[in-house]
Amino acid sequence: AVSSREGAGEEGKQRTLTTLLEKVEGCRHLLEAGQYLVYNGDLVEYEADHMAQLQRVHGFLMNDCLLVATWLPQRRGMYRYNALYPLDGLAVVNVKDNPPMKDMFKLLMFPESRIFQAENAKIKREWLEVLEETKRALGEKRRREQEAAAAPRGPPQATPKAGNPFEEDDEEEPALPEVEEEKVDLSMEWIQELPEDLDVCIAQRDFEGAVDLLDKLNHYLEDKPSPPPVKELRAKVDERVRQLTEVLVFELSPDRSLRGSPKATRRAVSQLIRLGQCTKACELFLRNRAAAVHTAIRQLRIEGATLLYIHKLCHVFFTSLLETAKEFETDFAGTDSGCYSAFVVWARSAMGMFVDAFSKQVFDSKESLSTAAECVKVAKEHCQQLGDIGLDLTFIIHALLVRDIQGALHSYKEIIIEATKHRNSEEMWRRMNLMTPEALGKLKEEMRSCGVSNFEQYTGDDCWVNLSYTVVAFTKQTMGFLEEALKLYFPELHMVLLESLVEVILVAVQHVDYSLRCEQDPEKKAFIRQNASFLYETVLPVVEKRFEEGVGKPAKQLQDLRSTSRLIRVNPESTTSVV
């Protein structure tokens, strides 16, 4: 076994690295300018859980990374590339001896860890020391590069900064940094070990512990000066904060498992907020939940029965929305109100996702108006339940569904008009004969459910009805259309529904008007007049009343229908009609 610490100059170190790595298959592409070998040696890797020996490896510690290669037993002195770990994301932890397991140390690099055994205690100590020294040197080098990049390029007197060795102010006040440095005691053990402790917390996903350490340091350094040693410590800590933030961001990314509830994001969100990253936490939380909602909807099985699918869709979506809203309130209570605006925008976007799935199943598949009305009713009921937590999205679902519902109303209106015209073309103006008492009883019940309470006065002896089949069918179809339309109703559809009703009614009324003017047979003319009376005195008032009950206000257009000259006014004592 071999372990060696390189002591030559950088040129010699570079040559040594090149020579050694020629023995490692698959790593030539990893070499970069400026890299050199610091230390290398043989190690034995162990499995973390059961401490079973896994393989013999060789470690190559460069000035900015650690390369691990595995032995090739068949080729003496040759290795195969296994892994490369940047030092700024690597934590080294001493493993206490527990015979027979001894001389071990652990490397932590999120999200994995590996345990290695050195040949003896001396070599283990060398590995630990040289790893820490190399990490410290790398951090110092990068800090100097950052300071050099941030240094002003103009005349030194333009923007003097304390602590810059190139500025004259340092010579004029040489004692100031020293005085400040004396006031800040960084010798405590917890401060000395803070960078490494942060590395361990990050590698072990102890987010709360990492932020607790940062809070402790910030509290200690609060209102204290910032001499070079403090700035150096801050630079090391800031690098860990960047790493911690990256890990927390990854925890909230949609690439992670989305099967958990919104509570699964709480740890990462709360620690980002503590780090002062409230806006980022809000953005990532909402993006995570959007992906979760989208996945839940996509995985929902489409059933044969549309209404059953819509029940499941509403349950999955609105339950997720409710849980997200409650978790948002818990996580972001007391934060910037801008987060709440972001949540409202997110909720509208999520509702759009829901409506896309809803409309595709309900409206694109040309379901009947009654099925569509029942589905919309279910969605609106679920939406109204969100009002219990102060989240009223009813206006959003109305706005998103208005076009589809308007199209459905228009289509069904056209169906009724075409059916009415077809029946009108075959109209013989004869009384209905239902043949059996059961059929007559069923019709009476249907008319009562339509709101026609005085239908009895239009029934005659046996199973006769003193009305035309066309008028009765029109009444049932129109009242059915109105009932289903009222389930779909919201204010944005008021005029659409009203105009559709007027258009449907006029088709029947104009047909009666035309028949009354053209009919010459007195007996048949009297029968037509009786049907006109039924439409005018019974059906239209029922339509007006039901419409007013459904929308909460009367409809002047429906009232005007009975008073305009276009509608037939029937005077029972007269033999003529007023058109």
pLDDT tens, residue by residue, 22-55: 788 877 666 676 788 889 899 999 887 777 888 8
The three-state secondary structure class of 60 is strand
Alpha helices in 363-456 (DSSP H): 369-385, 394-425, 437-449
Which phi and psi (to 5°) does residue 234 adopt? -60, -40
Given this model, what pLDDT does residue 333 score? 79
What does the DSSP 8-state code read for residue 568?
P
Given this model, what pLDDT does residue 414 score? 92
Given this model, what pLDDT does residue 165 score? 45
The contacts of residue 254 (CB under 8 Å, 6+ apart) are: 287, 288, 291, 292
Given this model, what pLDDT does residue 166 score? 45
Q: Which two tokens stand for residue 387?
A: 């009002």
Instruction: Say how many Å lie between the first and final Cα of the chain, rounded.
Output: 114
Beta-bridge mates of residue 66:
61, 85
Question: Between these two residues, 491 and 574, which has the higher pLDDT value?
Answer: 491
Whether 170 shows a pLDDT value over 50: the answer reads no
d(CA 113, CA 90): 10
Average pLDDT taken over every residue of the chain: 81
Residue owning tokens 């896309």: 356
Query: Long-range pairs for 137-140 at CB < 8 Å and ≥24 separation?
Result: 137/63, 138/63, 138/64, 138/87, 138/88, 139/88, 139/195, 139/235, 139/236, 139/239, 140/232
The contacts of residue 30 (CB under 8 Å, 6+ apart) are: 67, 81, 84
Q: Measuring CA to CA, how many Å separate 10 from each of 141, 481, 515, 569? A: 15, 89, 110, 110
The three-state secondary structure class of 285 is helix
Q: Kind of pairing, strands 24-25 and 79-86?
A: parallel
Identify which of 305, 329, 327, 451 has the alpha carbon closest to the alpha carbon of residue 378: 305
Residue owning tokens 């290695």: 116
Identify which of 240, 209, 203 has the alpha carbon closest to the alpha carbon of residue 112: 203
Given this model, what pLDDT does residue 5 score? 63
Confidence of residue 470 (pLDDT cuts 50, 70, 90): very high
Given this model, what pLDDT does residue 225 score? 75
Peptide linkage before 522 cis (omega within 30 of 0): no
Q: Which two tokens stand for residue 215?
A: 């809070």
d(CA 202, CA 194): 12
Length of the chain measured in residues: 579
**Which residue type, as a one-letter code, is found at position 463?**
C
Q: Kind of pairing, strands 104-109 and 53-62?
A: unpaired
Q: Give the number of C-alpha atoms closer than 13 A to the C-alpha of residue 514, restricted to the C-beta side.
A: 10
d(CA 573, CA 474): 26
The DSSP annotation for 378-399 comes to HHHHHHHHGGGGT---HHHHHH
Given this model, what pLDDT does residue 64 score? 87
Given this model, what pLDDT does residue 482 score? 92
Please give the domain boundaries of the chain with CATH numbers for all domains: 3-134 (2.30.29.30), 287-392 (1.20.58), 405-578 (no CATH)
Q: Are 296 and 320 in contact (CB under 8 A)?
A: yes
d(CA 132, CA 126): 10
Greatest mean pLDDT among 81-90, 409-418, 452-461: 409-418
Question: Between these two residues, 446 and 183, which has the higher pLDDT value?
Answer: 446
Greatest mean pLDDT among 21-25, 230-234, 351-355: 351-355
Q: Measuring CA to CA, how many Å separate 7 from each of 45, 149, 471? A: 27, 30, 107
Q: Are 201 and 207 in contact (CB under 8 A)?
A: yes
Given this model, what pLDDT does residue 63 score? 86
Given this model, what pLDDT does residue 257 score? 53
Given this model, what pLDDT does residue 204 score? 81
Whether 131 shows a pLDDT value over 60: the answer reads yes
Given this model, what pLDDT does residue 273 score? 87
- Opening angle at CA 23, ends 21 and 25, nearest 5: 85
Given this model, what pLDDT does residue 26 score? 75
Q: Are 482 and 547 in contact (CB under 8 A)?
A: yes
Given this model, what pLDDT does residue 390 score? 78
Identify which of 327, 311, 315, 333 has the alpha carbon closest to the alpha carbon of residue 385: 315
Residue owning tokens 């960047």: 242
Confidence of residue 7 (pLDDT cuts 50, 70, 90): low
pLDDT (tens digit per residue) in 98-111:
777 888 998 887 66
Q: Give the number of C-alpha atoms closer than 13 A to the C-alpha of residue 330, restricted to the C-beta side.
A: 15
Our measurement of the distance from residue 85's CA atom to the centroid of its chain's CA atoms, rounded to an integer in Å, reads: 34
Using a pLDDT cut of 70, give the percent of the chain over it. Answer: 85
Greatest mean pLDDT among 10-14, 287-291, 569-573: 287-291
Q: Are 376 and 368 in contact (CB under 8 A)?
A: no
Given this model, what pLDDT does residue 420 score? 92
Average of per-residue pLDDT across 372-376:
91
What does the DSSP 8-state code read for residue 301?
-
pLDDT (tens digit per residue) in 537-576:
889 999 999 999 988 888 888 877 776 534 444 444 433 3
Confidence of residue 227 (pLDDT cuts 50, 70, 90): confident
Given this model, what pLDDT does residue 563 score? 67
d(CA 377, CA 405): 12
Q: Kind of pairing, strands 65-71 and 569-570?
A: unpaired
